[in-house]
Every structure is written in C-alpha cells, then in structure tokens.
Amino acid sequence: MGEYVADNFESTYQKVGTFRVINGQKQGGNVATYFCLADGTVVHAVAGVVTAKQFLQEARWAVDTRKLAITQAGGDASKYRTALRKGHQERLTAEHGQTIPANALPKISPYGPPVPQVGTLRMPGARGTGQQGQVHALLAYHPLPKLDQLYPIVFEQVLGEKLSTLPVVVK
C-alpha cells in the first residue's frame, strides 16, 4: 500500500480539530482523507477511519477515476469535471442507493472549481446516507473543489466535529 500511495500521491497532514491523549490513548477527534492534485484540488475524499484495505481501494478508485476522466475529457475542463461528477454519482447510487436528480445538480463551469455550499448535504441524494455517501454526494454536486473549501464541510457537517487550532492535550 505504501508503495502505491508514494507512486501516485504526495502525502501530508493537517490538524484541524483537537483531541485528548489520556494514558497514551487518543480520545475524541476524527479523520478525513483527501486525494488531491498538486494544486489542492480534491478528486476524492474519505470520511472517517477505514482499514488499510479500504484505504487502498479508495486510493485506486481516485487514480482510476481521474485517469478515465482525463481520457474522456480530451483536454476540456468541463468534460473533466463532468466525468468526475459521474464517478461520484455512480458510487453514491451503487453503494448508498441514492440518486441525484439531474435538474438538482449545478451546471459545470469551465472557469474554475465550484465552491461547495454548506446546504449541499440537505439536497437530494445526500440525505439518508452515511458519512461516505454524503462525501460522494458533496463531490457530485461540486466536483473538483479546492481542499480549503471542502475540508470544513466534511469535518464539521459530515464527521460532526468542530474545527480547532487548540493543541492536543496530553494527560
């Protein structure tokens, strides 16, 4: 798994919440994983803790879906976003039994990534799914957002955590 990640991604982390460490055990907090391009554009995200096997599956899906989108787009930014939207819609339907009506999706713009909206998780297709279903719905509504626009929504609204710059408390 480490080799695959190293070959396809640049790894980093950012602490955005807080938790306590009591007797060597972490209490509280959560995690989200983002598969991004070099400019901070999010191709895929995973909400919550997953196994190593699940992580590798998600990483492979992100790489394969991006390669397919590049091929289908033929250099057209709108087609690229549309192909990635379709990938998230397909996962939402296949794994969470939800669909998003075509007329509910915002139009894809060739001029830049859409800004995810706070109310997206109340829209059709996002309700009644688990955390990962909500992430797929969010990325179907707003494919290829910037990480700095997406992570607050995932962390606070999907994972139910509070953003915090407070240090980790060790007791």
Q: What is the pLDDT of residues 2-56, one digit of tens each?
A: 788 878 877 776 666 656 666 776 556 678 899 999 888 999 999 988 999 999 9
Structure tokens at 56: 């590798």
Residue 46, pLDDT score: 95
> pTM for the whole thing?
0.85
| Per-residue confidence (pLDDT) for residue 25, from 0 to 100 | 66
pLDDT for residue 139 is more than 80: yes
Q: State how many domains the chain has.
A: 1
CA distance 106 to 46: 23
Whether pLDDT at 145 is above 60: yes
Provide the pLDDT for residue 29.
65
Q: HEC profile for 130-167?
A: CHHHHHHHHHHHCCCCEHHHHHHHHHHHHCCCCCCCCC
pLDDT number for residue 14: 66
Of all residues in the chain, the percent with pLDDT exceeding 90 is 43
- What pLDDT shows up at residue 133? 93
pLDDT at 169 over 60: yes
> Who has greater pLDDT, 139 or 8?
139
Question: Which residue range(s) make up the domain with 105?
Answer: 2-170
Alpha helices in 12-169 (DSSP H): 52-73, 77-96, 131-141, 147-153
Share of the chain above pLDDT 70, in %: 81
Most confident of 20-34, 101-115, 127-141: 127-141
- Min mean pLDDT across 28-32, 56-60, 61-65, 109-113 is at 109-113
